[in-house]
């Protein structure tokens, strides 16, 4: 990753208030291993942060302008606090604006600010690159203003600002992961309670490979909207519209047997949700006990469910998962992200990575897409970057 401190100082050397420090913070990307396609607002996830980061540097200006510089892209944007709103043409800078809004609403002296960003999180493949940018900017501003905001308040205010800027009610799960993650730990994320449980990884013999299939994705939001409607209807039918009911209540009762009475498509979607909830609990137990054989079965069944019941996979992703699972040394492989393309993750022993890479030649020959592999590790969450690393 670029050395952002010197880049920031050089970019703003004429405009900066030299009496003020440059504050830098970083936030990681993340992977959801299980639970990503779950019940909206009540999901249960097995996740982790990964050692790919978005980094943000911020300092005060002498005027009232807000300036943004993306060092990786060589792009510059600007606005003012009065005009702090979403603009499509501002693209990546909109995520910094979300963080600025948080502190402006809290009454901090937001006037002129300089921002520089860089990062190495693969973008638009479901690894939370935009959320990482928001969180890194928020942590940097917290340091600049020396604000005594805890992570729970930051999460709530980020979620509200995100909804205001982008006009949709987004899940706080990514924020929870990026603010709570610890090195070498998996997370059980309870979206409904806003809580995270950490699990020490027992997979030290394994590596995690993220595979970007490079499959173009179109109409994904429309397809996912239909599935969310099916889930909502399924819950209404199973719970008899009982207020506050969730699929976790269904998973813990004999109501599962009632699924046979649901319309076929709603039954498939609802079955996936209930079974995925159980898989998250089972995976937690398997990781704690280092029961790799059971964990492997859980990941396999989860992908099969996404393919056959929730129907968000595609032939290219299924091919990648199947070929990975045929390799001796692969613990599990599964799609991750919104689906209809995107990425798989594979948990694999280091001595099997060579064979895994060789099989990609067949993928490109069959499907015509050149895949990209990223090797990642379980990483710590967002944090200020110490001055010695500037």
β-sheet bridge partners, residue 32: 47
- Nearest CA-CA partner of 61 in 3, 11, 135: 11
Given 3, 174, 230, 308, which residue is catalytic? 174
- Given CA atoms 131, 137, 138, 143 in this order, what sign does their dihedral have? positive
Is 351 among the catalytic positions? no
| Euclidean distance between CA atoms 149 and 11, whole angstroms | 30
Cα→Cα distances 91→94, 104, 372, Å? 6, 21, 24
Place of tokens 């729970």: 152
188-223: burial string, b at 16+ Cβ within 10 Å, e else: bbbbeeeebeebebbbeebbbbbbbbbbebeeeeeb
β-sheet bridge partners, residue 79: 66
- Nearest CA-CA partner of 43 in 241, 367, 274: 274
CB 306 within 8 A of CB 321: no
Q: Where are the beta strands (DSSP E) in 204-307?
A: 206-212
Token pair, residue 37, equals 């396609």
* Residues labelled catalytic: 174
């Amino acid at each position: 990753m670029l050395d952002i401190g010197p880049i920031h100082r050089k970019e703003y050397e004429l405009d900066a208030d030299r009496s003020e420090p440059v504050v830098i913070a970083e936030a990681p990307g993340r992977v959801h291993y299980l639970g990503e396609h779950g019940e909206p607002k009540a999901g249960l996830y097995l996740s982790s942060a990964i050692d790919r980061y978005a980094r943000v540097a911020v300092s005060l200006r002498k005027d009232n302008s807000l300036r943004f510089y993306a060092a990786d892209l060589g792009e510059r944007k600007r606005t003012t606090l009065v005009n702090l709103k979403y603009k499509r043409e501002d693209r990546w800078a909109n995520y910094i604006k979300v963080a600025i809004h948080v502190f402006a609403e809290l009454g901090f002296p937001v006037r002129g600010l300089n921002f520089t960003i860089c990062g190495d999180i693969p973008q638009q493949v479901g690894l939370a690159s935009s959320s990482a940018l928001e969180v890194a900017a928020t942590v940097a501003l917290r340091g600049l203003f020396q604000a005594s905001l805890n992570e729970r308040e930051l999460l709530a205010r980020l979620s509200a600002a995100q909804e205001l800027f982008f006009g949709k009610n987004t899940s706080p799960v990514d924020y929870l992961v990026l603010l709570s993650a610890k090195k070498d730990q998996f997370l059980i994320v309870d979206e409904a309670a806003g809580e995270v449980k950490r699990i020490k990884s027992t997979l030290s013999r394994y590596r995690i490979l993220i595979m970007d299939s490079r499959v173009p994705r179109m109409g994904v939001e429309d397809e996912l909207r239909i599935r969310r409607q099916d889930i909502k209807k399924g819950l209404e039918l199973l719970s008899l519209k009982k207020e506050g009911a969730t699929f976790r209540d269904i998973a813990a009762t004999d109501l599962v047997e009632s699924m046979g009475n649901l319309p076929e498509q709603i039954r498939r979607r609802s079955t996936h949700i209930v079974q995925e909830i159980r898989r998250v609990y089972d995976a937690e137990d398997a990781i704690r006990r280092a029961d790799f054989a059971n964990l492997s079965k859980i990941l396999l069944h989860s992908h099969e469910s996404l393919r056959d019941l929730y129907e968000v996979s595609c032939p290219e992703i299924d091919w990648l998962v199947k070929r990975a699972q045929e390799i001796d040394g692969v613990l599990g492989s599964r799609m991750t992200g919104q689906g209809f393309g995107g990425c798989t993750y594979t948990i694999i022993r280091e001595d099997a990575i060579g064979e895994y890479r060789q099989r990609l030649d067949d993928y490109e020959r069959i499907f015509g897409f050149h895949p990209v592999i990223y090797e990642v590790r379980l990483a710590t969450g967002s944090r200020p970057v110490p001055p010695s690393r500037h």
